[in-house]
């Protein structure tokens, strides 16, 4: 069977590079184009050694994208930039499968919000898929199994590696400023607070920080419970919710971010109970560039092109 073609718009970035790596090993997809204004004309294999081919980066304007005729288009652009590309496809009457990694369509009900372990059954063949935020993925996975038992908003403390802040230089991805440091930011009103609240259907409070490591994030979620629970019952809920989910691992102990870097799954554990059984602390980790972005996009794409959800996601890099 012929492979389907895929274009990545914004392929110089961290998430774009991870997608190139995944597609290079994918049995049913091949790269049609990868865009970057900065790397225009340069060979892809010079930046992503896992890719073995002749393709070079190009820099099409949004209006030129439809003519490139890829079956699948991933938008890996900064927030606020997806709209012009989507408009160009609409205007040209082209209808590729579009996956937007940015936050631009996470509140648009016409788009499928693709967090497979929680929203799989809501996919009705939509050709437009909004990929969740990285922290938002971890928080939703950590809270969802207890959602109906919450007595108060979950309070979530997040720490991300600085690749989460993208490649545009800022304090949040400056290794000098991050050295020996933990940098709090957006302590109220972060986009992922709104995103998790909207998709979980309960208000979530979220306090993000960025740390000196490159990749991987931790969210530590404090959950007040409407009735006292035993730890075994709490763990049982998580094991039941994620039974048969190859990309979510439920652990007894709290997971460590250093062990999740470069892996495609999320780990959830800790389950520290307060003495009265009315409060539990759940810790989730994932690689922000993989389960928090590229791997999740690949799960969503695979499903939409009729492949198994894990096609192209290397078995050696998951549990």
Ligand X SMILES: CC(=O)N[C@@H](CCC(=O)OP(=O)(O)O)C(=O)O
Residues forming the active site: 134
Going 66 to 68 to 73 to 77, the CA torsion angle's sign is: negative
13 is a contact residue toward ligand X (CB under 6 A): no
> Which of 13, 16, 62, 164 touches ligand X (CB under 6 A)?
164
CA–CA distance, 141 with 174 (Å, rounded to integer): 29
102 contacts ligand X (rule: CB under 6 A)? yes
Candidates 208, 216, 270, 312; binder of ligand X (CB under 6 A) is: 208
Binding piece for ligand X, criterion CB under 6 A, among 92-100, 164-172, 218-226, 228-236: 164-172
Residues 6+ apart with CB under 8 A from 224: 150, 151, 152, 278, 279
What would the x/- binding string for ligand X be over residues 78 to 97, using CB under 6 A? -x------------------
In angstroms, what CA-CA distances link 145 with 245, 268, 300? 14, 11, 22
Q: Which is nearer to ligand NDP, 89 or 238 (CB)?
A: 89
Q: Which of residues 266-305 bind ligand X (CB under 6 A)?
A: none
Q: How far is CA 122 from the centre of its chain?
A: 18
Single residue of 149, 155, 191, 272 touching ligand X by CB under 6 A: 191
Among 11, 82, 98, 210, the residue binding ligand X under the rule CB under 6 A is 210
Strands 4-9 and 29-35: parallel
Q: Are 100 and 189 in contact (CB under 8 A)?
A: no
Please identify, using beta-carbon distances, which residue of 182 and 274 lies nearer to ligand X: 182
Shortest CB 211 distance to ligand X, Å? 9
Q: Which stretch binds ligand X (CB under 6 A): 49-57, 160-168, 197-205, 254-262?
A: 160-168
| Spatial contact of 302 and 311, defined as CB atoms under 8 Å apart | yes
Contact positions vs ligand NDP (CB under 6 A): 10-16, 36-39, 76-79, 81, 101-102, 133-134, 163-164, 166-168, 288-289, 292-293
Query: Does residue 159 bind ligand X (CB under 6 A)?
Result: no
Residue 96 beta carbon to ligand X: minimum distance, rounded to whole angstroms = 21
Restricted to residues 116-145, the positions that interact with ligand X (CB under 6 A) are 133-134
Based on the shown chain and the rule CB under 6 A, indicate whether residue 165 belongs to the binding site for ligand X.
yes
User: With respect to ligand X, which residue has the nearer C-beta, 170 or 239?
Assistant: 170
Residues that bind ligand X (CB under 6 A): 79, 102-103, 133-134, 160, 164-165, 172, 191-192, 208, 210
């Amino acid at each position: 069977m012929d492979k389907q073609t895929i274009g990545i718009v914004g392929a110089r970035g961290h998430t774009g590079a991870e997608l190139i790596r995944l597609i290079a090993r994918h049995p049913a997809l091949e790269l049609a184009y990868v865009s970057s204004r900065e790397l225009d004309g340069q060979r892809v294999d010079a930046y992503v050694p896992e890719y073995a081919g002749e393709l070079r980066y190009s820099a099409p304007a949004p209006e030129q994208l439809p003519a490139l005729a890829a079956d699948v288009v991933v938008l890996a652009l900064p927030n606020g930039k997806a709209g012009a590309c989507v408009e160009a496809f609409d205007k040209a009457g082209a209808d590729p499968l579009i996956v937007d990694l940015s936050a631009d369509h996470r509140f648009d009900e016409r788009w499928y919000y693709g967090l497979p372990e929680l929203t799989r059954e809501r996919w009705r063949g939509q050709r437009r898929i909004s990929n969740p935020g990285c922290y938002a993925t971890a928080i939703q996975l950590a809270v969802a199994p207890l959602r109906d038992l919450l007595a108060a908003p979950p309070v979530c403390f997040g720490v991300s590696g600085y690749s989460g802040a993208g490649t545009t230089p800022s304090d949040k991805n400056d290794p000098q400023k991050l050295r020996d440091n933990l940098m709090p930011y957006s302590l109220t009103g972060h986009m992922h607070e709104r995103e998790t609240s909207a998709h979980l259907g309960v208000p979530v409070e979220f306090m993000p920080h960025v740390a000196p490591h490159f990749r991987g994030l931790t969210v530590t979620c404090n959950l007040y419970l409407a009735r006292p629970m035993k730890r075994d019952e709490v763990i049982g809920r998580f094991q039941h919710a994620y039974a048969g989910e190859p990309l979510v691992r439920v652990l007894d102990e709290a997971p460590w971010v250093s062990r999740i870097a470069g892996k495609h799954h999320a780990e959830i554990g800790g389950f520290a109970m307060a003495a009265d059984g009315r409060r539990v602390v759940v810790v989730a980790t994932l690689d922000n560039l993989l389960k928090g972005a590229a791997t999740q996009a690949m799960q969503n794409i695979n499903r939409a092109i009729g492949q198994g959800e894990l096609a192209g996601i290397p078995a050696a890099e998951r549990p």
